[in-house]
Structure 1
Amino acid sequence: MTVTRDDITGLLLAGGRGMRMGGADKGLQTLHGEPLALHVMRRLAPQAASLLISANRHRERYAELGAPFHATVIADTLPDFPGPLAGLLAGLRAASTPFVLSAPCDTPSLPADLAERLASALDAHKSNIATVTTRDADGNLSIHPVFALVRTSLADDLEGFLQAGERKVRTWYARHTAVEVAFPDERTFYNINSLQELADFERR
């Protein structure tokens, strides 16, 4: 099948503890006067038929931010903030499309063609998962596994993986046919992990 926008639910991952931001809710920190999550939603929403927001705190605030995009806020089904795969699992369960496109809430410059490029590679390689790689100016490879296009039919397998105590995203991907897609500009995947990084990004 050819994956189109109508086949994709966008999933904003905003359910973490924000430990490197002193426990602050990362998606609600402001960039140019607006929450980081809002910047990401503006880029993610046009690439998908619908939008979900994975949030475990301040859910009413996320619902307000997502209202212009008709986004639905969902929470982890597993306790104790077990990481991005728990948010992905909640998204796979909640989506009404065959695919979920996930992106973290701290990457305000994500590419406008993220879904298109991942879907094309997933089609070409007949894969179940497509994710992102970039190279820096020195040619060093970086993998960005939280940006991914994932078949919703993998939900049961992911739940079993997490219930077994596993947490690593790439370890779960390795259980399935996954393709890594090279993107030309690593800056579009820059993620803001601290308040200092946020201030530096805003100045730039």
Structure 2
Amino acid sequence: MKPVREDITGLLLAGGRGIRMGGADKGLQILHGEPLAVHVLRRPAPQTGALLISANRHPERYAALGAPYGATVVADTLDGFPGPLAGLLAGLRAADTAYVLSAPCDSPWLPTELAIRLAHELDSTTSDIAMAATSDAHGQLSPHPVFALLRTGLADDLSGFLEAGGRKVRAWYARHKTVEVVFTDERAFYNINSLQELADLERDRGPG
């Protein structure tokens, strides 16, 4: 049965160290008068039945930002900022739904139809994971693996992968039946990696 909104928990990944942003907490950086986390939360909120924020720093601030959306803050259970898979594991463990929709905190224009598109392909292909991809003019696919819909039953396998030292998102996805869902708008998956990029985007309203 195809997942519907009530079956899906949205997960905002905001637990990184922000190395390329000089150590700044990405989700709290301001774009057009609001923290990046708020821009992102606004997009999946209508697509999911519940929301989680994976954050390892400033949990009180994230809790305040997420309060209007009913979001709960969760932290990694592994030390040392081991990467997005650790945040994903925290979300899979905390979710009360059968599916988790993940998205990074630095992509303020993620598609408003992300959940429904991923859910359709996950169901129709009986996959465990559906992740977003975009295609260029030559038909070359660019995967966006942290924009994904996953079955929460994968948590134990992910935990074992991380405990064994695994860190690469796509290496873990390769252990499961995964489908790539192609979107046409590359800009929707643009992620902000530096303070200079953020400053540049202050002058650009984006795709809306």
> Which TM-score band (shorter chain)?
over 0.9
Q: Which amino acid aligns with 2:18?
A: G
- In structure 1, give the amino acid aligned to 2:182: A
Q: Which residue of 2 aligns with 1:115?
A: 115
Please report the TM-score for the alignment, with normalisation by the length of structure 1: 0.98
Residue 146 of structure 1 is matched in structure 2 by 146
**Structure 2 CA distance, aligned partners of 1:90 and 1:55?**
10
Q: Give the alignment's TM-score, normalised by structure 2.
A: 0.96
Q: Which residue identity does 1:166 align to in structure 2?
A: G
Alignment match, 1:55: 55
Equivalent position of 1:6 in the other structure: 6
Paired residue secondary structure (1:38): helix
Q: Deviations over 1:33-62 (max 9, x none)?
A: 110000000001111000000000000000
Q: Which amino acid aligns with 2:146?
A: V
State the match for 1:75 in structure 2.
75
CA distance in 2: counterparts of 1:140 and 1:124, whole angstroms: 23
SS at match of 1:12: strand
- How many residues matched? 204
- Deviation of the 1:135 alpha carbon: 2.0
1:11-45 CA-to-partner distances (Å, cap 9, x unmatched) read 00000000000000000000001100000000011
Instruction: Tell me the SS of whatever aligns to 2:130.
Output: strand
Give the match for residue 194 of structure 2.
194
Secondary structure of the structure 1 residue equivalent to 2:122: helix
**Which ranges in structure 1 are unaligned for 5 or more consecutive residues?**
none
CA-to-partner distance for each residue in 1:116-164, whole Å, 9 max, x for gaps? 0000000110000000110234544211000000000000000000000
2:184 is paired with a residue whose SS is coil
Deviation digits for residues 63-117 of structure 1, max 9, x if unmatched?
Answer: 0000001110000011100000000000000000000000000000000000000
Across the aligned residues of Structure 1 and Structure 2, the Cα RMSD in angstroms comes to 0.8
- CA distance in structure 1 between the partners assigned to 2:2 and 2:34 by the alignment: 36
**For residue 159 of structure 1, what is the aligned residue in structure 2?**
159
2:173 match: 173
Write the distance in 2 (CA, Å) between the matches of 1:102 and 1:13.
7
Aligned to 1:20: 20
Shift of 1:202: 1.9
Identity %: 74
Q: Which residue of 2 aligns with 1:104?
A: 104
Q: Tell me the amino acid that sits aligned with residue 62 of structure 1.
A: Y
Whole-Å separation in 2 of the counterparts to 1:128 and 1:39:
28
Give the match for residue 134 of structure 2.
Answer: 134
Distance 1:120 1:2 in 2: 6
Cα distance in 2, alignment partners of residues 137 and 61 from structure 1:
41
